[in-house]
Amino acid sequence: MTESFGLSAVARAALLQRLAKRRGEETPTNPEAPPPESPGRDLRTLPGARDLALMREAGEALGIENPYFRPHQGVSGAHARIGNRDFLNFASYNYLGLNGDPRVSAAAKAAIDQFGTSASASRLASGERPDHARLEAALATLHRAETALTFVSGHATNVTVIGHLLGPRDLVLHDALAHNSIVEGARLSGARRIAFPHNDLAAAERELAAQRRRHGRALIVIEGHYSMDGDLPDLARFTALARRHDALLMVDEAHSLGVLGATGRGIAEQCGVDPAEVDIWMGTLSKTLSGCGGYIAGRRALVDVLRYSVPGFVYSVGLAPPLAAASLAALDLMLAEPERVTRLQHNATLFLRLAREAGFDTGTSAGLGIVPVILGSSIRAARMAAALFEQGINVQPILFPVVPERSARLRFFLSSEHSTAELARTVALMVAARDGQPG
């Protein structure tokens, strides 16, 4: 490989030399310094610690500020305030601008006044509140499902549900770009786990045909809207695939709700598929719905088992009442004001077109809410993010090893509240940053 982190072999060697020199300079020479930790207690040897240290050193050597964990001083959506500066923001999942909407905030405040800030126990014990049932009924209606169940974490929803429903005799088949929570749930279950190439139905079919008879249950897991690439699956063909092979189909709608479909109902509405064709709908409350948590919607036989046995629900505190109330209010507003979804999709389509016309690689994005700008190296992505930040644009770089080095990118999350002028200005600044970079 002639390049690493977007650098030529010569530049990479020079960078490594600088890092080696820096390590030498930082070697403690104080005779009173404490001795090094024994191998078993040396936390610098934890998995990932060395890679993290290298990335930090490389950033410092190249003069690139750490773009992560910057505190925001207020509600973040299409705009944000960071370090007492106002920014145009593309790093928020507040797709429809409902987080911070006075009506959503009022619902949360009313719930605090009545129930306090916590459910204070698992719902099975004594943490059940009326807003839990109301929210779950609304989510079930949204997905045309028999019932639904909410959890305190979106990530934990996938981990605990997949990990609980399947066992060592079973099979989990998932898209290669599936979210970490799906992969961790499959690992927890002990089931055989097979990842098929992204959105490759033919490959998924081959794997199922070869493996299905060797296992008890089979679960296919896909996402309705892939957050790294902004593209979609062919839902109708995946439902047919599941039926042909007697498999359950689970769809993660984390980045679909409020983004896909004419009224924001997600991938089923976008593709014109009967939601009943999907066995397990999973979604999050922290994005369009302005709360925090996750949910499962589906047949009553499934949800009843989860309600009384899945560890992440039975042994976890119930969803905080103000979060349940906020998410219910946001869901009601999404359905009552579909023009928000229309604006979001218009903005995403426009941004995608402008970026492509400017010569940027946007991969397979459908232009419905998420648009990656693939820059081909971590250094290039980090430098462009830093240059944009200086100009008042907040967008996060996605770097190796989260994505392959050649796929390092900036990831733009669009909002219904962005203006056409703001999107055009952003692309113009991207062009200036790209043309001003060496190499």
Classify residue 263 as left (phi > 0), alpha (psi -120 to 50) or beta: alpha
- Among candidates 417, 428, 439, which has minimal Cα distance to 80? 417
DSSP 8-state symbol, 288: T
- Among candidates 343, 321, 346, which has minimal Cα distance to 334? 343
- Among candidates 358, 339, 362, which has minimal Cα distance to 409? 362
Q: DSSP for 31-98, please give it.
A: TTSPPPPPGGG-GGGSTTHHHHHHHHHHHHHHT----SSPPBSS--SSEEEETTEEEEE-S---TTS-
Give catalytic residues, as residue numbers: 227, 255, 287
Residue whose token pair is 């690493």: 4
Helix axes of 378-390 and 49-62: crossing angle, nearest 10 degrees = 50
Opening angle at CA 290, ends 287 and 294, nearest 5: 60
Helix (H) or strand (E) holding 152: none
Helix axes of 180-189 and 154-165: crossing angle, nearest 10 degrees = 30
Distance of alpha carbon 163 from alpha carbon 339, whole angstroms: 38
